């Protein structure tokens, strides 16, 4: 009995010592960040806010210091104002340029090896995160580099925002006949059966979202020819939703946007010159509109190139209605009038919070919303 009591006493002492030791060990996975002010994105600005973060997730927001868990690491940012992480819903994170003055962006992307391109793209990922963008929806990449980049970030091997990726965007055939046996480039799909196959391929590769190029038009290409039929768009939407994926459809001009909305797209990208009926339908069905906005300097530079190569493109900016409003402004007023939901997309490549530079394309070669480049013997596609 005496030995039994001694054993119980020793066990109690060991447990007590372990508990006391645990209390003294700092909670390494818990942090408390102090802000002078904090905007919570719900209409409230907090003063002397404390944000408690546990294992990388926000657990609480308070103003009382008693909310800080014992042993938590405290970070004093009381001189600053905090806000929730920003979300950029239209990026191309794997696009890397060397910023050569006077050279259009698409002409600078000549990295032949995917591994090199992913490695270079880490700069943009870091800059994007440092700019306050913590989540991106990446809408177009080559050889599933976006999937690799997302996975590297998730594993902690690359510093960058949380990424939702699409793999290849779907586009119609826009290349000459190829010798039999030459495999088509990723993303090419003509007709409903091929559209179904291509969507399933992206999902099998690990895509989080589906991208479809529903019309021509990108950078200085101001054409807006619809490339996919309503039936093809509807097939893509249906199979994407069947697998629980959202789908974004790229569109310039009224026709592509109209059929994309009718087909049930979750968002339309760019979508210039939409008519009032399409905007009303978007507001009714909850379709998100993701416009492409550029700073004034970048817009002026691009218009200079567009005017030189495409004289008729002046109509895009200079055509006015009786009230003096441009088509883009009229679209904005119509969307605001019906309460349409809108997302922010900068079509950013590796330049954080920068506007894309327009690459020139011959007006004789209207292509499917992407710049075709050849690297070695392989044709590669770039989209927007």
Residues 294-339: tens digit of each pLDDT:
544 444 443 454 345 444 433 323 223 333 344 445 555 555 555 5
pLDDT at 133 over 60: yes
How far apart (Å, rounded) are the C-alpha atoms in residues 92 and 70?
42
Q: Is residue 21 over pLDDT 60?
A: no
pLDDT at residue 338, rounded to an integer = 54
Same-fold call for 26-83 versus 86-383: no
Q: Is the pLDDT of residue 136 over 90?
A: yes
Longest C-alpha distance within the chain, in Å?
Answer: 102
Band (113; pLDDT cuts 50, 70, 90): confident
C-beta pairs of 279-283 under 8 Å, 24+ apart in sequence: 279/331, 279/334, 279/335, 279/338, 279/340, 280/338, 282/335, 282/340, 283/335, 283/338, 283/339, 283/340, 283/341
Contact 101, 146 (CB under 8 A): no
Lowest mean pLDDT among 29-33, 180-184, 291-295, 324-328: 324-328
Highest mean pLDDT among 93-102, 275-284, 374-383: 275-284
Structure confidence at residue 289 as a pLDDT band (50, 70, 90): very high
201-233 pLDDT, tens per residue? 999 999 999 999 999 987 667 788 999 999 999
Inter-axis angle of helices 145-154 and 114-130, to 10 degrees? 50
What is the pLDDT of the chain when averaged over all its residues? 75
Please tell me the predicted confidence (pLDDT) of residue 112.
Answer: 67
Percent pLDDT > 70 in the chain is: 65
Task: Compute the Cα dihedral for 299, 304, 307, 309 and give only its sign.
Answer: negative
Quick one: pLDDT at residue 196?
Answer: 98
Residue 259, φ and ψ in degrees, nearest 5: -70, -30
Least confident of 23-27, 54-58, 113-117, 126-130: 23-27
- For residue 368, list its beta bridge partners: none
pLDDT digits (tens, 9 = 90+) for 78-87: 999 999 999 9
pLDDT for residue 217: 86
Q: Which residue has the higher pLDDT, 56 or 140?
A: 140
pLDDT of 99 > 60? The answer is yes
Q: Which CATH architecture describes the domain 26-83?
A: Roll (2.30)
pLDDT-wise least confident of 76-90, 247-261, 328-342: 328-342
* Average confidence (pLDDT) over 350-364: 29
Considering the domain delimited by 86-383, tell me its CATH architecture: Alpha-Beta Barrel (3.20)
Residue 23 pLDDT grade (very low, low, confident, very high; cuts 50, 70, 90): very low
pLDDT of residue 374: 29
pLDDT greater than 90 at residue 46? yes
- If DSSP codes are grouped into helix, strand and coil, which group holds residue 288? strand
Question: Radius of gyration over alpha carbons of the chain, in Å?
Answer: 26
The values of phi and psi at residue 48, to 5°, are 55, 55
How much of the chain exceeds pLDDT 90, in percent? 53
Q: Sign of the CA dihedral 93, 218, 229, 315?
A: positive
Name which residue leads in pLDDT, 252 or 15.
Answer: 252
- The pLDDT assigned to 345 comes to 57
Q: Residue 348 — very low, low, confident or very high, per pLDDT cuts 50/70/90?
A: very low
Map out the domains of the chain as residue ranges: 26-83, 86-383
Residue 335 pLDDT: 52
pLDDT at 336: 54
Which residue in 303, 288, 219, 293 sits closest to 257, CA to CA? Answer: 288
pLDDT at position 183 is 64
CA distance 97 to 172: 26
């Amino acid at each position: 009995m005496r030995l039994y009591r001694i054993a119980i006493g020793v066990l109690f002492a060991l447990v007590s010592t372990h508990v006391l030791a645990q209390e003294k060990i700092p909670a390494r996975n818990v942090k408390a960040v102090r802000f002078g002010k904090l905007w919570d994105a719900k209409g409230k600005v907090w003063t002397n806010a404390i944000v408690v973060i546990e294992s990388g997730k926000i657990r609480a927001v308070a103003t009382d210091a008693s909310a800080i868990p014992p042993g938590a690491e405290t970070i004093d940012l009381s001189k600053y104002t905090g806000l929730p992480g920003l979300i950029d819903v239209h990026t191309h994170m794997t696009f890397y340029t060397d910023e050569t003055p006077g050279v259009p962006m698409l002409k600078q992307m000549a990295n032949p090896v995917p591994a090199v391109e992913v490695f270079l793209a880490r700069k943009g990922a870091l800059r994007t995160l440092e700019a306050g963008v913590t989540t991106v929806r990446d809408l177009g990449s080559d050889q599933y580099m976006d999937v690799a980049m997302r996975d590297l970030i998730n594993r902690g091997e690359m510093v960058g925002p949380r990424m939702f990726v699409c793999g290849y965007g779907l586009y119609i055939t826009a290349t000459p006949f190829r010798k039999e046996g030459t495999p088509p480039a990723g993303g090419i799909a003509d007709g409903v059966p091929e559209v179904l196959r291509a969507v399933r391929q992206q999902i099998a590769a690990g895509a989080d979202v589906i991208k479809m190029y529903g019309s021509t038009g990108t950078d200085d290409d101001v054409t807006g020819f619809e490339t996919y039929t309503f039936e093809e768009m509807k097939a893509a939407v249906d199979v994407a939703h069947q697998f629980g994926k959202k789908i974004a459809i790229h569109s310039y001009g009224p026709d592509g946007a109209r059929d994309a909305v009718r087909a049930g797209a979750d968002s339309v990208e760019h979508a210039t010159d939409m008519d009032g009926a399409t905007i009303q339908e978007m507001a009714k069905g909850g379709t998100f509109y993701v416009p492409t906005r550029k700073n004034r300097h970048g817009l002026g530079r691009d218009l200079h190139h567009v005017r030189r190569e495409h004289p008729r493109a002046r109509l895009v900016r200079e055509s006015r209605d009786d009230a003096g409003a441009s088509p883009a402004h009229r679209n904005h007023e119509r969307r605001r009038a019906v309460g349409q939901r809108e997302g922010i997309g900068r079509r950013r490549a590796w330049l954080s919070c920068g506007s894309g530079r327009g690459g020139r394309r011959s007006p004789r070669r209207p292509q499917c919303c992407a710049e075709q480049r050849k690297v070695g013997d392989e044709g590669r596609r770039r989209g927007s």
